[in-house]
Amino acid sequence: MEIKAQTGDEAYHDLLAHVHDHGEVVAPRGHKTWEVQDATITFKDPFLAPPVNTRTGFNDRIAVTELLHLLAGVSHLGQLDVASNGQFTQFSDSGRLRGAYGPRLFHQLPRVEAMLRRDPDTRQAVAVIWTPHEVVTHDVPCTVSLAFLNRGGKLCLKVHMRSNDLMLGIPYDWYVFSRVQLVMAEVLDLEPGTYTHHADSLHLYERDEDRAGTMFHRASVRDTPTRVIPAFTHGEVFGYGEEPPLDTWERVQSVATEVLWHQGITNWFTERVQPLTGDDVICPRCQYVVHRAQLVHTTDMTLMDEPARCLECWAGD
């Protein structure tokens, strides 16, 4: 199925009704779902992609924290647990979200930016999240890749999902990835183009049927899009006042990291993102935020130039 929508609200209601009415019943891992294969949704204006009027229980604290982790290239379970009242712990292994996007994209997004600068017409500006050697953990990435295309001076984004949960996935995915597109467009001094979201499996779990049912009859309602969530495209959103727009990806990552530490940012973020403590540090090897006591410095004089890294990275060497 293919939908071209003006807003996330419009697309979301249509998807919800279509999957419930026409989806095939399947039960991966014994959990009954209604599934539609090869669902593609395209938004002309990515700013309007987040479905903010759907009454899905969208938690903007989770959305913003996930976005900032992705932009800063880090992962911190503690912040997400605060944002979600502890819901993320159930997806962790040994205190880590093994499928976290931030560490997986840390080196890829700067490469994407560089490729688009070097060859604006390139078809190779792709960041890959899913890897061919995924192991069974509580947190397996649902996203396969993000492909960026500069066409006609507009930056388009094509997101490929192997699996997409209508209730718990779509609202956050549309928000986070469309914001990444807006940031990348700002970095490259381009206008944002279309946002296209493709899911190999778009599904609704039976356990969410009652909650979803409360929204079916609102499918014909077209609310005025709510622009309550910052677009991440202007200096003032990052707390830089009248300074020029962002012009390098390194500055985007620096700003995102500042947001994590609550330095020089707007109240909108401080009200939603749990601040890190003085004992929180980023392991330079794996990009996970750990307690300072878990960061180890080598005592081997031949390796003194090597940066400190967390206990897990040392154990893996």
Closest CA to 106 of 228, 258, 288: 288
Give the 3-state secondary structure of residue 271.
Answer: coil
Contacts of 85 (CB under 8 A, 6+ apart): none
Average pLDDT of every residue of the chain: 82
Backbone angles phi, psi at 220, to 5 degrees: -90, -5
Residues 251-272: pLDDT tens digits? 666 666 666 665 444 566 667 8
Distance of CA 59 to the CA centre of its chain: 14
Catalytic residue of the set 142, 156, 283, 313: 142
Note the pLDDT tens digit of each residue in 86-113. Answer: 999 999 998 999 999 999 999 899 899 8
**pLDDT at residue 236, rounded to an integer:** 32
Average of per-residue pLDDT across 197-201: 97
Which residue from 152, 169, 171 is spatially nearest to 161, judged by alpha carbons? 169
User: What's the pLDDT band for 189 if we cut at 50, 70, 90?
Assistant: confident
Q: Note the pLDDT of residue 101.
A: 96
Q: Which two tokens stand for residue 278?
A: 């003085």
What is the rounded distance in angstroms from the CA atom of residue 252 to the CA atom of residue 110?
10
**Spatial distance between the Cα atoms of 238 and 90, rounded to a whole number of angstroms:** 32
Superfamily of domain 2-230 in the CATH hierarchy: Thymidylate synthase/dCMP hydroxymethylase domain (3.30.572.10)
- What pLDDT, on the 0 to 100 scale, is given for residue 213? 61
Residue 111: how many other CB atoms lie within 10 Å = 15
* Closest-CA residue to 65 (of 77, 52, 53, 47): 77
Known catalytic residue at 142:
yes
The alpha carbon of 141 is separated from its chain's Cα centroid by a whole number of angstroms, namely 11
The reported pTM is 0.86
Percent of the chain with pLDDT over 90: 42
What's CA 95's distance to the chain center, in Å? 20
Helices 170-187 and 249-260, packing angle to 10 deg: 130
Question: Residue 76: which of 252, 306, 262, 281 has the closest Cα?
Answer: 281
> What token pair was written down for 259?
């947001």
pLDDT value of position 222 = 41
Position 196 scores a pLDDT of 98
What pLDDT is recorded for position 90?
Answer: 94
| Residue 268: per-residue pLDDT | 66
For the segment 304-317, the average pLDDT, to the nearest whole number, is 79
Q: How confident is the model at residue 248 (pLDDT cuts 50, 70, 90)?
A: low
Distance CA 157, CA 295 (A): 37
Cβ-contact 71, 183 below 8 angstroms: yes
Question: What pLDDT shows up at residue 226?
Answer: 39
Residue 272 pLDDT: 80
Q: Rounded to 5 degrees, what are φ and ψ at 153? A: 75, 10
Percent of the chain with pLDDT over 70: 77
The predicted pLDDT at position 223 comes to 41
Q: So where are the chain's domains?
A: 2-230, 280-316
pLDDT above 70: residue 27:
yes
Q: Are 125 and 114 in contact (CB under 8 A)?
A: no
> CA-CA distance, 135 to 26, in Å (whole number)?
23
Q: Which residue has the tokens 């530490």?
A: 261
Q: Contact, 268 vs 295, CB < 8 A?
A: no
